[in-house]
């Protein structure tokens, strides 16, 4: 283990974009995956290529702390990481870098984003806390921000997953970074057919605005919507759509079902708040399906207005979504297929591997 690289990722709770990046990094480097918490049942067979992550079982080690704050629990777990001297370590996530003091050797941060809860979305999250807990939580975030900044500045190189994230690193932390978009297995997605439904694949949480998409389709009973993925707002969205026969809320689906739904929908809808990068729109384009997105964050770097999709104004409402759905006719969607497929190839996994291999070679040479 001493002579193997380490890949540290916050947690493996579901097969999301960050988890795919960490797995790809482990495969690329032959490194050992470490994580604070691993839910093996949430991952399809073969996801880790028979090399599952080393699970530090943070919640079991610090149950009292986990009940108060999972973030604090994972922070402490990484801060207690066993002292080790690998040739280099790659940190993926917001909490894994807090193990930096325990690891010698070169350190690389693959930054999905500086934690939104500490910077641009701090007030948004604090408003969601009960007033009696707000002051204590604000103090915790103050300490977390300083610990994260120290960890980021201890890295030998920082890789940002988009120009958007590189800008945040410069703005919030005055740190330079190299941009390497995350890996997308474009070969896994292909055009199958064109059926009469629109697809939402975003995680169902407060930053993804899935409830805005649902609200739009509640006012369009003649249009069909399928919502996949899970998250903290899933039950809220289920309740919103309970009486709507044109909206199907499926929650998490298998990779096979996701590929089939993506390959058969008319178009996908993805309108998160200032998304870091956004792998789902690239998967949609790989399947020849245009994206109804939003002119914010990483989508400005992936989706081309009028060519591979429609970009709504920043902070869109249900009316904006409804107008874009009306504009995205079957004929228009089909005409965008060639441009979508060509655009997706720019973000293929092979490009990620080539660029990250060069970053690692430059740091370790």
**How far is it, in rounded angstroms, from Cα 62 to Cα 356?**
34
SS (H, E, C) 121-173: CHHHHHHCCCHHHHHHHHHHHHHHHHHHHHHHHCCCEEEECCHHHHHHHHHHH
Does residue 11 form part of some domain? yes
Q: How many domains does the chain have?
A: 2
Smallest CA-to-CA distance from 246 within 214, 223, 269 is with 223
152 and 255 share one domain: no
What integer pLDDT is reported at residue 1 of this predicted model? 46
Distances (CA, A) of 292 to 227, 251, 321: 14, 20, 8
- Beginning with the edge strand found earlier in the chain, give each strand of the sheet holding 157-160 in spatial order: 54-55, 32-35, 6-9, 88-92, 106-111, 157-160, 178-179
Alpha-carbon dihedral angle through residues 260, 262, 265, 268, given to the nearest 10 degrees: 160
Residue 22's CATH number:
3.40.50.2000
Question: Which residue matches tokens 């941009």?
Answer: 179
Say if residues 22 and 161 touch (Cβ distance below 8 Å). no
Contact predicate 158/169, CB 8 Å:
yes
Domain match, 191 and 95 both: no
In a domain, 1, yes or no: no
Q: What is the pLDDT of residues 221-259, one digit of tens each?
A: 999 999 999 889 999 999 999 999 999 999 989 889 999
Residues of the chain with pLDDT under 70: 1-2
207 shares a domain with 68:
no
Both 199 and 281 in one domain: the answer is: yes
Cα gap 55→292, rounded to integer Å: 38
- 63 burial (CB, 10 Å; 0-12 / 13-18 / 19+) is exposed
Domain shared by 203 and 120, yes or no: no
197 contacts: CB under 8 Å, gap ≥ 6: 224, 225, 226, 265, 266
Question: Would you state the pLDDT for residue 2?
Answer: 53
pTM for this model (two decimals): 0.86
DSSP string computed for 16-44: -HHHHHHHHHHHHHTPEEEES-B-GGGS-
| Adjacency order of strands within the sheet including 309-312 | 247-251, 225-228, 198-200, 267-269, 291-294, 309-312
Single out the residue of 360, 353, 356 nearest to residue 107, CA to CA.
360
Residue closest to 204 by CA, chosen among 263, 267, 257, 250: 250
Cβ(175)–Cβ(152) below 8 Å: yes
Say if 221 falls within a structural domain. Answer: yes
Do 23 and 48 meet the contact criterion of CB atoms below 8 Å apart?
yes
* Domain containing residue 287: 186-346
> Given this model, what pLDDT does residue 56 score?
97
Residues 143 and 164 in one domain: yes
Q: Both 178 and 191 in a single domain? A: no
* Predicted pLDDT of residue 207: 87
Q: Kindly state whether residue 76 falls inside one of the protein's structural domains.
A: yes
Residue 216 lies inside a defined structural domain of this protein = yes
Q: Do 139 and 198 belong to one domain?
A: no
Residue 84, burial from CB neighbour count under 10 angstroms (0-12, 13-18, 19+):
middle
Q: Nearest Cα to 111, choosing from 58, 162, 45, 170?
A: 162
Q: What pLDDT, on the 0 to 100 scale, is given for residue 128?
A: 81
- One domain for residues 201 and 113: no
Tell me, yes or no, whether 125 and 173 share the same domain. yes
Q: Is residue 282 included in any domain, yes or no?
A: yes
Residue indicated by tokens 């649902």: 214
Same domain for 237 and 353, yes or no, is no
**Domain contains 233:** yes
Q: Assess whether 219 and 205 both reside in one domain.
A: yes
């Amino acid at each position: 283990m001493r002579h193997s690289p380490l890949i540290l990722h916050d947690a493996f709770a579901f097969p999301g974009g960050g988890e795919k990046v960490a797995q790809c990094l482990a495969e690329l480097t032959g490194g050992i995956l470490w994580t604070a918490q691993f839910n093996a049942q949430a991952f399809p067979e073969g996801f880790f290529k028979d090399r599952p992550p080393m699970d530090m079982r943070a919640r079991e080690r610090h149950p009292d702390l986990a009940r108060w704050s999972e973030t604090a629990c994972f922070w402490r777990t990484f801060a207690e990481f066993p002292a080790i001297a690998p040739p280099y370590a790659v940190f993926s996530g917001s909490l894994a870098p807090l193990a930096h003091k325990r690891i010698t050797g070169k350190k690389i941060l693959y930054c999905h984003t500086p934690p939104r809860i500490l910077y641009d979305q701090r007030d948004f999250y604090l408003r969601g806390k009960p007033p009696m807990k707000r002051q204590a939580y604000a103090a915790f975030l103050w300490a977390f921000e300083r610990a994260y900044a120290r960890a980021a500045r201890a890295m030998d190189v920082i890789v940002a997953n988009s120009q958007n994230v590189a800008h945040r690193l410069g703005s919030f932390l005055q740190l330079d970074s190299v941009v390497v978009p995350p890996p997308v297995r474009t070969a896994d997605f292909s055009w199958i057919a064109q059926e009469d439904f629109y697809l939402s694949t975003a995680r169902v949480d407060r930053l993804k605005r899935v409830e805005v998409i649902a609200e739009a389709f509640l006012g369009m009973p003649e249009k069909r919507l399928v919502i996949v993925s899970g998250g903290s707002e899933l039950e809220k969205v289920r309740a919103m759509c309970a009486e709507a026969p044109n909206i199907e809320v499926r929650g998490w689906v298998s990779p096979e079902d996701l590929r089939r739904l993506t390959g058969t929908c008319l178009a996908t809808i993805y309108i998160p708040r200032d998304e870091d990068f956004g792998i789902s729109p690239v998967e949609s384009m790989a399947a020849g399906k245009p994206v109804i997105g939003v002119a914010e964050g990483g989508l400005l770097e992936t989706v081309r207005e009028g060519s591979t999709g429609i970009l709504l104004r920043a902070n869109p409402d249900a009316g904006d979504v409804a107008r874009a759905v009306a504009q995205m006719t079957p004929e228009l969607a089909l005409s965008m297929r060639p441009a979508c497929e060509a655009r997706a190839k720019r973000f293929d996994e092979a490009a990620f591997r080539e660029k990250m291999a060069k970053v690692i070679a430059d740091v370790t040479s």
